[in-house]
Structure 1
Amino acid sequence: MRGLMHGYIGAVDAVNLRIGRIAMYGIFVLMGILLWSSISKTFFLPSLWTLEMAQFVMVAYYILGGPYSIQMGTNVRMDLLYGEWSTRKKAWFDLVTVLLLIFYLCVLLYGGISSTAYSLGYWGSEPTSFLAGILIGTEEVGRLERSPTAWRPYIWPIKALMIVGMFLMILQCFSEFLKDVLRLKGEDI
């Protein structure tokens, strides 16, 4: 069982480490878009796409960087009491709080799946079966949702990316849960 736990932790941590390291560079993409936005507004006609594209890049940066942040322990914590606790007490506290986080992320994931199904033209009550049907080819995409702005980009790509990011974050939370279990059993991770 411990070998399976270590294998899961290693695989999930490796995937999220790579994705997080790549997502890190999204800040430079965001800076480039905002720089172009400033230049085009100052010297040329303002670009219609820069504001929304900056928002999309920021969402991707934030969502794909979340699992990496949890893995590195750089997420925000109230360190007033936590810093003074023993490793065992921290593990118990983290064990409980990560379960609450997993529940919250599962609710967000379901909402993201529903929202993505809507943006792909589905108005029914079974969004997960619709998305599964799209993946296996039994369902067809309906009228695609677009942004109401002048640029009018499709919304489904960023919503699909949010689903991927939330799923990776849930996997990382399970990894952290298993790390806490192993710490409580006396292993040093």
Structure 2
Amino acid sequence: MIKTATWIAAIDRVSRWLGNITATLLLLMALLAGLVVLLRYGFEVGSIALQESVLYLHGAVFTLGAGFTLLHQGHVRVDIFYQHWSTRRQAAVDLTGLLLLLLPVLLFFGYSSWDYVMVSWQRWEGSPEAGGLPLVYLQKSLILGLVLALLLQTIAEVGRCITTLSGARS
């Protein structure tokens, strides 16, 4: 059987890799947004495809970076009490939230968006705008990317909580 620390570390590496990709996409998004502004106001040239590229990258940054954010505990949390609790109590609260809130929501998102994404792929859905990108099906797939990235990191966090609660060394 694989040691808990081994598979937690493997999932953490995937989340860090997605975080690095997200950082690169964020830089690209900022550069493209600047280019859109420069072209529009500097040269009075507009590009629907370029504008949609910025929107697609924006979606990718938020969906693919979600697991990385969970890895670094960057999600919203009210720390009024939590910050003063012991590590074991924090792990118990985290485990409860992961299993009773995050996991069911992720499963619901995955289940309810599957057909939506698959229909888009079947139609090779593209932009309704003239000159837009023919890649709407990829953008919609980011919903499943969000579910997968967060689900993987949730599994790692659950493992980390259980390890902490059991008092085992990883």
Bigger relative contact order (CA 8 A; separation at least 6): 2
Q: Tell me the matched-pair count.
A: 167
CA distance in 1, matches of 2:115, 2:30: 31
CA shift for structure 1 position 15: 1.3
Q: Which residue of 2 aligns with 1:48?
A: 48
Q: Percent identity?
A: 25
Structure 2 spans left out of the alignment, 5+ residues = none
Q: Which amino acid aligns with 2:29?
A: L
Give the distance between the partners of 1:184 and 1:118, measured in 2 at CA: 43
- Conservation of the 8 A alpha-carbon contact between 2:47 and 2:131: no
Equivalent residue number for residue 124 of structure 1: none
Q: Match of 1:120, SS?
A: helix
Asked if 1:58 is matched to 2:54, the reply is no
**Structure 1: 5+ residue stretches without partners:** 122-142
- Aligned partners of 1:33 and 1:91: how far apart in 2? 41
* Residue number in structure 1 paired with 2:21: 22
- Could you tell me how far 1:98 is from its partner in structure 2? 0.5
Equivalent residue in structure 2 for 1:151, among 118, 122, 131: 131
The TM-score normalised by the length of structure 2 is 0.89
CA distance in 1, matches of 2:96, 2:83: 17
Look up the match of 1:178: 159
2:3 alignment partner, SS class: helix
Deviation at 1:152, TM superposition (A): 3.4
Could you tell me whether the CA contact under 8 Å between 1:109 and 1:163 is conserved in 2? yes
Q: Distance in 1 between matches of 2:113 and 2:35?
A: 31
Aligned 8 A contact 1:60 1:162 in 2? no
Quote the residue 1:116 is aligned against: 117
Matched, 1:163 2:162: no
> Which range is displaced more, 157-166 or 177-186?
157-166
Superposed displacement of residue 188, structure 1:
5.4
Q: Detail structure 1 runs of 4+ shifted over 6 Å in the superposition.
A: none
C-alpha displacement of 1:51: 2.5
Q: What amino acid is aligned across from residue 8 of structure 1 in structure 2?
A: W
Q: Deviations over 1:94-130 (max 9, x none)?
A: 0010112011011111233221111023xxxxxxxxx
**Counterparts of 1:73 and 1:58, CA distance in 2:** 21
CA distance in 2: counterparts of 1:111 and 1:4, whole angstroms: 34
2:45 is aligned with what amino acid?
A: L
- The structure with the largest helix share of the pair is 2
Offset of residue 22 of structure 1: 2.1
Corresponding residue number in structure 2 for 1:135: none
TM-score (norm 1): 0.81
* 8 Å CA contact 1:116, 1:159 repeated in 2: yes
Over the aligned positions, Cα root-mean-square deviation in angstroms equals 1.7
